[in-house]
């Protein structure tokens, strides 16, 4: 069987890839993809630990919650990105310096 | 047994390689589509972790919902500005990315150290779960148990999530309406 450490290592690599994307990308959509990668790494850890809780399924249930939360977050974030694009004509996070006007 | 390990290595290789490609690619469309592959490979990893329901949810919500949403947002914003961003990015390629690379690499080192030191397979509660046969085996079906738990033990978080989804729905609709009507 696959050990728990293997899953955690894969999750760690995905998590740091997500951090790299968030810090280095100059496009809000790619920053959002980085956030999704980090969320997926966390979900992978939840699922891997959830194997050892057959009765209550805590890991899998909270993995489901995290997936739903990610969907809600993405919808709002994309609405914000479209609004920012409409106002500033760019989606580079470094260029957006004002909160309002 | 070795077949499962082989599948695990293939799936994690695909996931990590496509995530790295999505991170290093300069083309936005290409990185969105490669992210599809990452999500599918992660769904495969969830199956290997014996969480088939989570894997199916991942495919339905992430691949079917979130990525289509991201593609929509990309297609609604105009192409010229994206191209300008990309060209300017390629000229500054070395200066801007070194701090991010250092940060990610150091974070990876810390995480790997913590994971190897923690030795997750020998944690007390995991040994206890194995001793009490509280472990999901490949033959056990978990979906009915998840449904029962969702409606009994985890009812409060479930309702909290539903209220949050409603708020996100209203908020997204409010944010994306036309500018003049406010």
pLDDT at position B149, please?
92
Question: pLDDT: is A85 or B44 the higher one?
Answer: B44
Distance (Å) from the C-alpha of residue A96 to the closest C-alpha of chain B?
A: 14
The closest alpha carbon to A31, from B23, B89, B15, belongs to B23
SS3 B147: helix
Domain assignment present for B131: no
pLDDT band for position A1 (50/70/90)?
Answer: confident
Q: Cβ of B34: how many Cβ atoms within 10 Å?
A: 20
What does the angle CA A43 – CA A49 – CA A50 come to, to the nearest 5 degrees?
A: 85
Domain assignment present for B43: yes
Which residues of B, range 42-71, sit inside 8 Å of A by Cβ? 42, 45-46, 48-51, 53-54, 57-58, 61-62, 65-66, 69-70
Answer yes or no: do B143 and B71 share one domain.
no
What is the greatest pairwise CA distance in chain A? 57
Helices A58-88, B155-175: inter-axial angle, 10-degree rounding: 10
| Nearest residue in B to A41, CA atom | B42
The string of pLDDT tens digits covering residues B10-31 is 999 999 999 999 998 888 888 8
Q: CB-based contact (8 Å) between B113 and chain A?
A: no
Domain end, chosen from B77, B95, B114, is at B77
Domain assignment present for B45: yes
Radius of gyration from C-alpha coordinates of chain B? 21
Domain assignment present for B125: no
pLDDT band for position A54 (50/70/90)?
Answer: confident
Which residues of B, range 115-144, sit inside 8 Å of A by Cβ? 115-116, 119-121, 125-126, 129-130, 134-136, 140, 142
CATH number, domain with residue B8: 1.20.120.1200
Domain assignment present for B22: yes
Residue-number span of the structural domain to which B35 is assigned: 1-77
Question: Tokens 């990525």 belong to which residue?
Answer: B67
Residue B51 backbone zone (phi > 0: left; psi -120 to 50: alpha; other: beta): beta
**Structurally, how many domains does chain B consist of?**
2
What does the domain layout of chain A look like in residue ranges? 4-88
CB contact under 8 A, B61 and A71: yes
pLDDT at position B6, please?
92
CATH class held by domain A4-88: mainly alpha
Residue B159 token pair:
């309702």
SS3 B1: coil
pLDDT at position B84, please?
52
Answer yes or no: do B2 and B73 share one domain.
yes
Domain end, chosen from B56, B77, B98, is at B77
Residues A14 and B16 sit within 8 Å (Cβ to Cβ):
yes
Phi, psi of A39 (to 5 degrees): -60, -40
Which residues in chain B show pLDDT less than 70? 1, 77-94, 96, 179-182
Q: Cβ of A48: how many Cβ atoms within 10 Å?
A: 27
| CA–CA gap between residue B127 and residue B125 (Å, rounded) | 5
CB contact under 8 A, A64 and B53: yes
| Nearest residue in B to A57, CA atom | B146
Mutation test of the interface with chain B: which of A1, A22, A69, A77, choosing the one with the most B Cβ atoms within 10 A? A1
Number of residues that this document lists for chain B: 182
| Nearest residue in B to A51, CA atom | B136
CB contact under 8 A, A75 and B105: no
Report chain B residues whose CB lies below 8 A from the CB of A91.
77, 81-82, 85
Task: Give the torsion through C-alpha atoms of B164, B169, B171, B176, to 10 deg.
Answer: 160
């Amino acid at each position: 069987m696959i050990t728990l450490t293997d899953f955690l290592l894969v999750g760690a690599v995905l998590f740091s890839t997500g951090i790299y994307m968030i810090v280095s990308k100059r496009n809000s959509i790619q920053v959002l993809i980085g956030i999704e990668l980090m969320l997926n790494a966390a979900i992978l850890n939840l699922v891997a630990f959830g194997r050892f809780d057959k009765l209550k399924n805590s890991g899998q249930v909270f993995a489901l919650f995290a997936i739903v939360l990610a969907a809600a977050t993405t919808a709002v974030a994309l609405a914000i990105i479209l609004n920012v694009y409409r106002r500033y004509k760019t989606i580079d996070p470094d260029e957006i310096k004002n909160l309002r006007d | 047994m070795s077949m499962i390990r082989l599948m695990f290595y293939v799936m994690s290789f695909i996931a990590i390689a496509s995530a790295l490609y999505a991170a290093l690619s300069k083309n936005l469309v290409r990185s969105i589509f490669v992210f599809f592959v990452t999500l599918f490979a992660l769904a495969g990893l969830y199956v290997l972790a014996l969480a088939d329901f989570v894997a199916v949810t991942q495919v339905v919500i992430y691949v079917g919902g979130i990525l289509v949403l991201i593609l929509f947002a990309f297609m609604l914003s105009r192409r010229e500005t994206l191209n300008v961003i990309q060209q300017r990015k390629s000229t500054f390629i070395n200066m801007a990315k070194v701090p991010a690379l250092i940060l990610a690499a150091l974070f990876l080192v810390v995480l790997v150290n913590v994971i190897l030191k923690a030795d997750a397979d020998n944690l007390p509660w995991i040994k206890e779960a194995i001793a009490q046969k509280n472990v999901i085996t490949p033959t056990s079906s978990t979906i009915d148990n998840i449904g029962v738990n969702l409606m009994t033990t985890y009812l409060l978080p479930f309702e909290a999530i539903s209220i949050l989804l409603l708020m996100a729905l209203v908020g997204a609709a409010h944010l994306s309406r036309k500018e003049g009507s406010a």
